[in-house]
Structures are given as C-alpha cells and as structure tokens.
Structure 1
Amino acid sequence: MHHALWRLLRYAKPHVGILVLAFACMAVLGLATGAYAYLLGPALRFLLSGGEEGFASAHRVPWLADLPREAALWGFPVFVLAVGALKGVGYLGQFYFMGLFAQRVVKDLRRDLFLRLTALSPSQLSKERTGDLLSRFSSDVMAVELAAMYTVGSYLRDTIQVLVLASVALAMSPVLGGLMLAVIPLAALPASKLTRKVLKGTREGQAHLGQLAGQLHEGLGGLRTIQAFNGQEAELARFESYAKAHEEAVVGAAWARGGVPGLMEVLAAAALAGALGYAAATRAMEPEALLSLLTAVILVYQPVKDLGRVTQFAVQAGAAGERLFALLDLKHPVEDAASAVPAPALHESLRMEDVRFFYGERRALDGLTLDLKVGQVAALVGGSGGGKSTVTSLLLRFERPQQGRILLDGVDADTYTAASVRSQFALVTQEPLLFHGTVLENLRHAKPEATKEEVEAAAKVANADAFIQGLPQGYDTRIGERGVTLSGGQRQRLCIARAVLSKAPVLVLDEATSSLDPENEREVQAALAKVLPGRTALVIAHRLSTVTNADVIHVVEAGRIVESGSHADLLQKEGRYAAMWRLQTSGPIERGAA
C-alpha cells in the first residue's frame, strides 16, 4: 500500500503550486485557531472585570492594556471578529485550492488510465471483466480523489493546528500541557493496528465491488439470454453472493475505522480528568490561564481525530492505487525498440515468414508463410480455430509471434514503430464498431481532418451515401451507441466507408460479413465489389461465397496454409477447398432437409 501511495503522490508534483497556496491558507487557519485559544481566558477575565484589572496583566496583549477602558471594551470584540474573519478566509481558501488540486490530480490519473487501457492489446483486455475495469475507472479513482481533496489538506492543516495548539498548551504549563498531550502518542499503536484492519477490509471491498460491476455489465449485455433461459434467479444468487462478501468487508472496515476516534475520545477524557484533578489539588495556575490551556488542549484533540479519520481515506486510496497501478503497469506485448523508426508506406509486398504463435499452451499458428503483393486481393479461408484471425492480430501488432518474422517490403516489422505499422492497415471486423455520435463523426474517426466532400466520396464508394442521405439529418444524424439505430448491413457499410476514408495501403476484412443475414450480406458484398478492385486487401472469411473473386485464396488449417490458388484452380484440385465449397453450397444441409 505504501508503495502505491508514494506513486500516487507523484501525480501531485506538477500541481505543487496549488498546494503552496492551500498551505498558506492552512497556516492562516492554524494561527487564527491558536489565537482563539490563547486569548479566551484573558478575554473572559478582562470582560468580566470590566477592564479594571487591565489586559496586560491578564495576558500579554499590551496594545489593549494601553487603551482607555471604553475603547478596550469595544476593541476586543472587534479583534475577535477580525480573527474569526481571518479563520473563515483560511477555510475558504484551503477548501478551494485543495478541491482544485484534487481535480487536477484525478484528471491526470484518468488520462493515464484511459491511455493505458486504449494502448493495451485486445487479448490483454479480454482477460479482464469490463465491469471491473469500469469500477477501477470510477470507484477506485474516486477513492484517490477523496484522498487528494481531504487527506493531503488535512495532513497539512491539522498538523499545523496541532503544533500551534500544543505550543500554546505547553507555554501555559509544561507539566499540565504535557500530561494532556501525552495521550496522542499513546493512541498510535492501537490506531495502527486498527488501520491495518481497515486496509484489509477496504482492499477486499474494492475487489468485490469490481465483481459486482462486472456481473452487472455482463447481465445487461446478456439480458436476452438470461430472460430466454429464465436465469434471473441464478444471476440474482450470484449477485447476492458478491454483495454479501462486499458488505462483510466494508462493515469490518467500518468497525475498525470507528475504533480510532473512539479510542481518542476515551484517552482524551482520561487526560482531561487527570489534568483537572491535578490543577485543583495544586492550584498551580490562574483560572484564566487554565481556561486557555484547557481550550488549547480540547481544540488540539479535534485535528488529531481528524488526522485519524482522514488516514482512512489514505488507506482507501492506497488499496485503490494498488488496483489502478496493476493496470497502469501492464505492458503491451509489442513494444517499440529504442531504435524503431516510422514505417514508409507499403509499395511492394507484405510477408509473414514461418510464423508460429501460441495462446498459452494452445498453438494458433504453426509455421505459417503468407505473401500479399500490393494491388492483390488475397483471402484466408478455413474452419473456426484454424488461425485466420490470429493473422490479423499479428499484422496489426496486437501480438508478436513467438517465432518467425513479418516483413514489410522485405524489412522486419520490428524495425518500425507499432503505430506506424498499424497505419498501413484499415481494419473492418466481424462486429461493426461505431461510436455514439453522428455519422460524420464516426467516419472521420479514420481521418479527423477529412473534408465533408472526402467523407461523402468514401461513403459513395462503400455504397453507404444513399442510405445516409435518407437518415433524418443525413450525415449529422446521431446513430446511438454502437450504431444501434442502424441495420447490420448499414453499420458494416459505414465501417467500410471509414476504412476507405483512411486511405491505408492495406484493407483487412476480418469476417466482415459472417454475422449478417443474407439480405444485409448482399448489401455489404455489393459495397465490397466496388471497394476491392485495384486495392491491396486481405479478406478473412468463413463463407467461401464472399471470396470467389479474390486473386488468390489460401486455405488455413491447424495454423498452416494447406492450399493456395484462385477459386477456379482450387475447385479443380478437388482438395480441401473443393470439399468446403460443396459443403457450403449443396452439401449435406440440402440432403438432410425434410
């Protein structure tokens, strides 16, 4: 936890100027609070005596003692009011600047989290539950925000107040002041044990909260399936088990958290009782001095208790920081070498040479060699699990092969930065990915600086312009999250238009029509018939009907290319491709129908 807290403190470094302003306000607040305690006893004696005894003898404020009696009677309340106003300004300034500081820290942290999450490979993110990731981005970051707003400020403000008030108490009477302040270090050991219990409960509670968020996200995403199989009770039972574990962890932490101020109250009462008994027995102090001493000590316990309370925020932030840094410390499997340079645009060929790749123990590619020449449309076909989509992950540098090389115009891809290699490809996946926003904003995602004319030209190439113009606001129509207001074919044609707009050298279609019904598939195929001619493209498909016009078709099985050729050539070979073609076009489905 301490390591996580130190790392979180690094986020404060760029905003130390704001902390200095907050610290100045806290210093004013601390001094004003000390002034209250210091003046309370003499003020009471001065006012009760009507000023007859003089304030200088009552307590060391010469300028009041030298005033005429009437002026002193009016001057002291005005002085108290001025101290109160100063204290109010100190409070206002420290809360404003600490709030500003907390928001700046959290903004930087969220930015780093967003950059890290969007920079990880899809396979890394697939190991995490989306709801748990969202929980870290929300509740864990909120724990850091609370610590930045209250803990840092409280440590500064309350430490100043403790030092000022303790100095006042010791100045009044070293013996009595020391006796009443001695409880503070006595409370340290049991308080540290309770804090460890708080840390354990907080850490477990944050983890269980992530499980709850993960199940909620899964439940909302799979609502149709849950209801179709009447699985609400099973999901509720799982939810309740997570909720109970979260409750037990949080309640345990709350019990330990409440023990710290409770312990301080008991010890403070004991110290005050002992000091009052001693003062009564020895008559060692004047009443007004004793009143100032007691006021200082009573006031000092509040910031001490506040320090104990806000320490719990630090504990929560430490537990949250551990979860956040577990994400921030993840490294992408393909990191740029120090000598990496931007890749030039592909102008001859792309080659995967004897590539082997494993997902854990499972072999996905086993010595695959693939050549794609510029201007050529190549297709990868085969059954599920053969390794086709792994080819996409390797080409776009989502993963690095354990063996073999990827060559761009004969140069190893490791020579280039991953971002510049990815810029060589425009990807269209099986699941059309669109963002909440307008059609125009979605298309410009590939090229933010594109003009309206360039966007419309790309949409026309992808057979998307006609249906876009028919939308209520045309290109300015908002299409909802993931494009839910459009049909599957419309969404996919927008994705193809976006790929065309990017003008990347290589177009990669990864099962781009496999999730579409026949009508939508025909729409997308018509779009591809306009897009593919003359382009460099790699088409990964399960349905063979989508690749019959490819220049070369590669059949992939068990991570290797077992056949290559044009559609006509492969049918003549009567090999694996011909068997797959017969199965998909006129095979056992028709013979088994009844």
Structure 2
Amino acid sequence: MFRASPQVEATQKPAIGADPVTAAPRRDLSPLRRLVPFLTPYRTAIAGAFLSLTVAAGTVLGLGAGLRALVDQGFAAGNPALLDKGLLVMLAVICILAASTYGRFYLVSWIGERVVADLRRAVFDHVVKLSPSFFESTRTGEVLSRLTTDTTVLQVVVGSTVSIALRNMLLLIGGSVMLLFTSAKLTGLVFLVVPLVVFPIVIFGRKVRKLSRESQDRIADVGSFVDEALGAIRTVQAYGHENAERRNFADRVEGAFDVAVQRVRTRAALTVIVIVLVFTAIGTILWVGGHDVLAGRLSAGDLSAFVFYAVVVAGSVGAISEVVGDLQRAAGATERLFDLMATEPEITAPANPAPLPVPVRGAVAFDAVRFHYPSRPDDAALDEFSLSVAPGETVALVGPSGAGKTTVFQLLLRFYDPRHGRVLLDGIDIRTADPAEVRARIGLVPQDPVIFSTSALDNIRYGRLDASDEEVRAAADAAHALEFLEQLPDGLNTYLGEKGVRLSGGQRQRVAIARAILRNPPVLLLDEATSALDAESERVVQEALERLMRNRTTLIIAHRLATVLNADRIAVMEQGKLVATGTHTDLIRQGGLYARLASLQFDRRDDDRAALALPDVAE
C-alpha cells in the first residue's frame, strides 16, 4: 500500500462537520459547557461530591488556625496540655479529611465514568445514523479516535481534573481570605505576584491547547493507519510489504511522539515558571514577616499560620496551572466530539412520512433519475435512468463495470437521494417515506457478504432480530448452510471470527443468503449472490435463491450472464443509462451491447469446453 507521508496526510485529512481537524484551536474552555446536558441527570452525585470537596478543603484551611493556636498558646506559653489536646484534634481532623476525600474521589470518579459512557453512546448513536456519503470523505479511524481517545481525555477531566481544579480553587479563595485576616500587609505582597503567575499560565496555556489538539490529531492518524493496515493484512503479507508498513507506522508513531514531547515540554516549562515565581515570592514574604516578628508587629503563631496559608495558596496556584492544560485538552476533545455530533445525516425521515401501502406489493420504479455521488460531483452515476419492475417480477441489471448497477441498489435502499427524478416503492416516492420503513421491505445479498464478529446464529438472526432459533435454523437449511454450520465446534453458536475468517467465501455467501431468507422481504436485491461459490455450491444455493425469489420482486446485478438467463427481463446499462431491456433471446436478436457481452462470455465458455475436450480427441 502506498501512502503519503504523515505530514502530507495531516494537511489532507477529510473533514468532519465544520472541519474540526484543521480548524484553528479555540482559546477558551467554553466547549466544556456542552457537557452540561450530560452532567445534569446526576445532580445528586455532583452535589455529594461538591459537599465532600468543600469539607475536605475546609478541613485543610482549619489546620492553619490550629497551627496558630498551637504555636502561640502551646509552645510560646509552655502549655503541655494544649499539645495533648492538639494531637487529639489533629487525629479527628485527619479522620474527617480521609472520609471526605474518599467521598469526593468515589463520587467524582463515578460521575466521570458515567458521563463518558453516556457520551460514547450518544456519539455512536449519532454516527450510525449518518449517511454513507459521510463515510466516503471521513476515515473510520478518525471516528474511532473520537470515540476512544477524545472520550478518554474527557473521562480523566470529568472524573479527576475538574475535582482537583475545584478543590484548589476553594483552597485558593479560602487561603487568600485567611491570609488577609492573618496579615493584610503580607497578603498585599502576595497578591503583587499574582499577575506574574497568571500571565505565563495564559500564554503557555494557549500553546498547550494548540499542541494538545495537534497531538490528538496525530494519534488519530496512527489509529486510522492501524485500522487500514490490519484490515488489509492479507494483502500486506501477500505483497511482502510488512517492512514497508512497519516503517510507515513508525513514522506516524514518531510524529505523534514529537508533538507529545513538545506539549509535555511546554507544560513542564509552565510548571517550572510557576514554581520559581511562587516560591521566590514566599521566600521574600517570609523575610519580611520575620522582620515583623522580631519587631513585635506580628506573633510567631500568626507568621506560622501565614506561611501555612501561603503554602496552601501557592500549591493551589501550581495545581491550577497544571490542570489548565488538561482542561484545554478536554475542551479540544469536546469540540471534536460535538462537531461530529453536529454533523447532520443527509438522509432523514420527513416530519410526516408518507405511509407505505399495506399489504406490500413490491412494485419498484425509477423515474428519470439523475444522480452524482458526493465524492464525484462531475460524473453522473445515473443519467435519466427510468425502469419499472412489477410486483413479483425478476429483473437482471447487466452492463460493464461503472455502468451504475450498484447505484440502483444504493438509491433503492435510500443510502442516497437522486439529484433529479424519483425512486418509487409501491407508488410512493421513498424520499417522502421513513427510510427505516423502506429498508424493512428490502432484503440484500451483497457480492462481498458481511459477516459480523459473532456466532453464526447471531449473524443469520441479523436479518430479523426477533426470530427464534428454530426459524434461524430453517433459514440456514433453506440456504444450504445448515450442514456445514452444524459441523463447526459449537454448531450455530460457533464464533465465526472477525469478518467471518473461519468460513470459506462460499460459506460466507450462504450465511448472507440465509440472513435474507430469514428477513423474508417483499423486495430482494441480489448482487451476484453466487459469484463466490464453486459449481456444486452454486447449484444448491441457486435452488435456495429460486425458492426465495418466488412471488417476490427481485433485482439481480449480474456479471456472469449465465446466471440471469431465466430472469423475466434483462435491463442493459451503460454509463448510467438504460440502453435496452428484454429477455435474453430478444436482446441477442437486437444486437448491441448485450449481444457483444454475451458473445464474449459464451464464446469463451465454448472455447474452454473445447479445450477440455482436446485430450479425448487426441486419443
């Protein structure tokens, strides 16, 4: 696989929503407000966590007052009884602090886990509603990164960082008040240095936010690369590209590492600057306070309490400077997640969907349809395409690659809407109907069957989730899949592996056919459903398909013309247009594209038969 360098790919990333990947990073924490609806249901837990946090912070601040009394009334007055009492009070305070810390840690962590779980569900629920056109221009790995990496960042912030920030804010405010009551003069000196501390926090914080966003984007690159490489592992190994893929992966990992190191270096510099400024200020204030004690303007207990509160305030400022980076990363992650959730699906149910007729007839019609794929706006996939299929009729779509056969299926399933014209199901324009109702009447057997990483039983039941085990077995039997499924180690409960790797191509196809049989749809779409089968399997599966097709509307995409000879009609397509319709005999008589395709395939088959007969002639 040939790929651009990580640096080139970083500038060519597909957009999600309002292009959050390449957008300039925001400089505030306002995106975090979008989490409020996810926090609101857990008001009680939040209130309990805040109460525990307040008690813990108040307990710490109370230690300063106890220290003042201990120094002035215990040490200075030589009162041993007060020292004994001080020990008991300290033990009681420790118990209160431990209990409140436990409550804060448990409740905040629970809230973080719960909110992130809800957020992941909300994002996934939204993503699965997005139209296929979204995934034409967006890598799956990018979406996975937002569901995993970004939500993990939020989990850390909601379940820890916010608590730390609030606790230190309370300590900062409470400590500042206690400083003011202890010594207004020294407190004034303390707050002279506050701007010196805040300024680098703001400047470096913006840089951390930018680097954090870039780091998350590089991690998304890594995830996308892994998803693509492992998904094509057989191709990678077949072409001997293991070493090339290792080098490509290493480049992406190193790119992510370099950005992460820049972010860590910036945060470390921020922390160093804050520590130097804060503790230099504390040293200066101690020097001034010491002179006040010697001059009798301040008691030793007041200076001890002031130092304690100054350390608390300084520690709070330092902690806040550290969590600002985490909060900014969370703001970036929140922005990315909600940009994804703000992406509107192009295919939605109308406010008042038109009801489809009951009972179902299965009439399908395309009326002067013109359609362009979003990724190819200048190339019409269908051009003035009109075709009517009567209820119960079997129509085969034939034509060269790129003729628009698969597009017909995509529009009928309403994965896309045509630019012009209408697609009708039982006389109803499907744009006016609920897409779920339309798709519920259609069964699809694709050329490349989709097998989920679960059991055979669940794979077949995907056709109708409320089907019983007996109905699933009957569908498997009708698709001639029951025999080989029962031979698996756990029968139909056997895990089939990722993408069904434990089954052969023909077996996967028969599982997909069983799924369609179980669905029992009025309209059946077969995309060369027997192409992956050997001759014997094709014979038995063709029998199952013939039973399935009986009395239902069927559209067949056919590459091998021998599979559609018995179709009621054959629709010949070329460059998105319908160029001819009729039976095999009629189309051969008319000449044209179908006659040429038939001549190529059937003459080659005759040549193959002749070649196989040559040894007999030689004898």
| TM-score, structure 1 as length reference | 0.92
2:349 aligned partner: 336
Q: Which amino acid aligns with 1:340?
A: P
Equivalent residue letter for 1:180: V
Residue in 2 aligned with 1:476?
493
2:349 is paired with a residue whose SS is coil
1:8-157 matched pairs, under 5 angstroms: 8-48=35-75, 52=79, 70=81, 72-157=82-167
| Counterpart contact for 2:367–2:386, Cα < 8 Å | yes
Distance in 1 separating the partners of 2:573 and 2:136? 25
Matched-pair contact (CA < 8 Å) for 1:37–1:165: no
Per-residue CA shift, 1:388-413, capped at 9, x if unaligned? 11111111111111111112222221
Q: Would you say the 8 A contact 1:447–1:501 is kept in 2?
A: yes
C-alpha displacement of 1:519: 5.2
- Tell me how far apart the structure 2 counterparts of residues 162 and 342 of structure 1 sit (CA, whole Å): 63
- Matched with 1:501 is 518
Task: Calculate percent identity across the aligned residue pairs.
Answer: 36
TM-score (ref. length: structure 2): 0.88
Take 2:347 and 2:30, find their aligned partners in 1: how far apart are those partners? 27
- In structure 2, C-alpha distance between the alignment counterparts of 1:584 and 1:51, rounded to whole Å: 110
C-alpha RMSD of the superposition: 2.3
Deviates more, 1:169-178 or 1:456-465: 456-465
Deviation of residue 562 (structure 1)?
0.9
Q: SS of the counterpart of 2:496?
A: coil
Amino acid at match of 2:264: A
CA contact (8 A) 2:362 2:552 kept: no
Aligned partner letter, 1:573:
Q
- Measure how far apart 1:554 and its partner are: 0.7
Match of 1:245 in 2: 255
One-letter code aligned to 2:304: L
What's the counterpart of residue 544 of structure 1? 561
Pairwise mapping of residues 215-364 of structure 1 onto structure 2 (< 5 A)?
215-283=225-293, 284-345=297-358, 346-347=360-361, 349-359=363-373, 360-364=377-381
Q: 1:547 to 1:326 in 2, by over 3 A?
A: farther
Query: Aligned to 2:405, which of 373, 388, 394?
Result: 388
Cα 1:42/1:412, change in 2 over 3 Å:
same
State whether residues 175 and 309 of structure 2, in contact with CA within 8 Å, keep that contact through their aligned partners in structure 1.
Answer: yes
AA partner of residue 495 (structure 2): R
State the match for 1:59 in structure 2.
none
CA distance in 1, matches of 2:193, 2:355: 65
Q: Is the 8 A contact 2:453 2:497 kept in 1?
A: yes
Secondary structure in 2 aligned to 1:587?
helix
State the distance in 2 between where 1:530 and 1:5 align: 57
Q: Give the whole-Å Cα distance in 1 for the aligned partners of 2:533 and 2:351.
A: 43
With 259-268 and 97-106 compared, the bigger mean Cα shift is at 259-268
Alpha-carbon spacing, 1:321–1:520, altered in 2? closer, same or farther (3 Å): farther
Does the alignment pair 1:365 with 2:382? Answer: yes
TM-superposed deviation, 1:51: 5.7
What's 1:487 paired with? 504
Match of 2:458 among 425, 431, 441: 441
- By how many angstroms is 1:73 displaced? 4.5
How far apart, in 1, do the equivalents of 2:48 and 2:355 lie? Answer: 45
The reply on whether 1:408 has 2:392 as its aligned counterpart is no
Gaps (5+ residues) in structure 2? 1-25, 615-619
In structure 2, what is the Cα distance between the partners aligned to 1:107 and 1:456? 36
Distance between the aligned counterparts of 2:97 and 2:60, measured in 1? 7
Picking from 589, 595, 616, the partner of 1:578 is 595
Contact 1:166 1:181 in 2 (8 A): no
Q: Which residue of 1 aligns with 2:414?
A: 397
* 2:574 aligned with 1:565: no
Cα distance between partner residues in 2 of 1:528 and 1:312:
61
C-alpha distance 461-519 of structure 1, shift in aligned 2 (>3 A): closer
**Could you tell me which amino acid in structure 1 is paired with residue 123 of structure 2?**
L
Where does 1:454-473 land on structure 2 (aligned, <5 Å)?
454-473=471-490
Instruction: Identify which range, 236-245 or 485-494, moves more after superposition.
Output: 236-245
2:180 corresponds in structure 1 to: 170
Q: Deviations over 1:1-20 (max 9, x none)?
A: 44532323432222232211
Q: How many residues align?
A: 577
Query: Post-superposition shift, 1:516?
Result: 4.6
Q: Kindly provide the CA deviation profile for residues 19-51 of structure 1, in whole angstroms up to 9, marking residues without a partner as x.
A: 111101101011001011221132244443576
**Cα shift readout 1:58-97 (whole Å, capped 9, x = no counterpart):** xxxxxxxxxxx74x55432221111111111111111111
Distance 1:590 1:47, change over 3 A: farther
Work out the CA distance in 1 between the residues paired with 2:555 and 2:369.
Answer: 17
Cα pair 1:351 1:408 within 8 Å, conserved: yes
> Residue 198 of structure 1: CA displacement?
0.8
Relative to 1, partners in 2 of residues 1:182 and 1:427: Cα closer, same or farther, differing over 3 Å?
farther
